[in-house]
Amino acid sequence: MAVATSPAVAGKLLINEPLSRYTSWRVGGAADQLYIPAGLDDLRLFLQSADAEQAIYFIGLGSNLLVRDGGVRGTVVLMRNVLTEMKMEADLVYAEVGVTCGKLAKFCAKEAKQGAEFFAGIPGTLGGALAMNAGCYGAETWNVVNSVTTINRHGELNKRDAAAFIASYRHVDIPVQGEWFVAAWLNLEVGDAHESAQKIKDLLATRLASQPLNLPSAGSTFRNPAGDYAARLIEASGLKGYIIGGAQVSDKHANFIVNKGNASARDIELLIKHMRETVLAKHGVAMQQEVKVIGEYA
């Protein structure tokens, strides 16, 4: 790892930086460049000066992401602890994309805004939740989005209404490619702060009881098929506890893959493939992957 400097930007630019430090699975090779912006204006400057031919990836907590062992050719922009403002704007909740979903849920509860409690169960940032329409316990991100601000490769900002985006289960169609989210306004109902806080507490207790939070994972591996649950299909296929290398199908929640301590990205990707093929062979269901995969093989 090396640190590079640029007179145009105030953020930190790391060269050949291992991404295992920034993903919840704790695996993955190095990025050619990892950039940590100093703020929105700094991010704009960086994008304006970036090589137009170079691939750019944005990550938050790296909690729904598998980086292959060969690393990432291009630049990874790390948004954790960057763009973390939250405030009320009239009746809307304004939040920037570096805010963790857990903090967002608590902020909305404190402001007596109900409908955002489910964010407490999403182990990522608002940026990731917007990008994949994350959700849990019957609620989804784009159900509460009023509008968003995006940034493009030229550092230009655009504000867009939620109606410009087509959101479906764990997927969002972005009307203009090459844009990333930087902030959102959420439209929530007036509620009771104490009641919302209790809902969050109950949700976190349910999550702790049902998910393997003591080991590195990336949350749900597969989307739930229509009318069924991925975890049920995986468990019914006899895969609970199945191991490849250092990666294991969790014996607590079958739709989670955990890193037992020495897993490689290859172990995890092979296990995902085996789970998909086994469920298809035994139940005739082609499961769709929820985890995003980037990078090159070692």
pLDDT tens by residue, 114-172:
999 999 999 999 999 999 999 998 899 999 999 999 999 999 999 999 999 999 999 99
Q: What are phi and psi of 131, to 5 degrees?
A: -65, -30
CATH 3.30.43.10 range(s) for the chain read 2-78
Question: Yes or no: is domain 86-210 CATH 3.30.465.10?
Answer: yes
Buried-exposed string 56-88: b where 16+ CB fall within 10 A, e elsewhere: bbbbbbbbbbbbbbebbebbbbbbbebbbebee
CA atoms of 158 and 183, how far apart (whole Å): 10
In the chain, which residues fall in CATH 3.30.465.10? 86-210
Residues 60-68 have a mean pLDDT of: 96
CATH number of the domain located at residue range(s) 2-78 in this protein? 3.30.43.10
Please report, to the nearest 10 degrees, the dihedral formed by the alpha carbons of residues 150, 151, 152, 153 taken in order.
-150
Looking at the whole model, is its pTM more than 0.85? Answer: yes
One-letter identity of residue 42: D
pLDDT of residue 4: 53
Give the number of other CB atoms < 10 A from CB of residue 216: 18
| CA geometry: angle 249, 252, 255, nearest 5 deg | 50
Residue 6 pLDDT greater than 90, yes or no: no
Q: How confident is the model at residue 93 (pLDDT cuts 50, 70, 90)?
A: very high
Residues acting as catalytic residues: 170, 220, 290
Q: Considering the domain 230-294, what is its CATH architecture?
A: Alpha-Beta Complex (3.90)
Amino acid at 101: C
Task: State residue 9 phi and psi, 5-degree precision.
Answer: -130, 155
Domain ranges in the chain with CATH number 3.90.78.10: 230-294
Q: Half-sphere exposure of residue 156, counting CA atoms within 13 Å on the CB side?
A: 8
**Residue 120: CB partners within 8 Å, gap ≥ 6?**
101, 102, 105, 106, 200, 203, 204
Q: Is the pLDDT of residue 1 over 90?
A: no
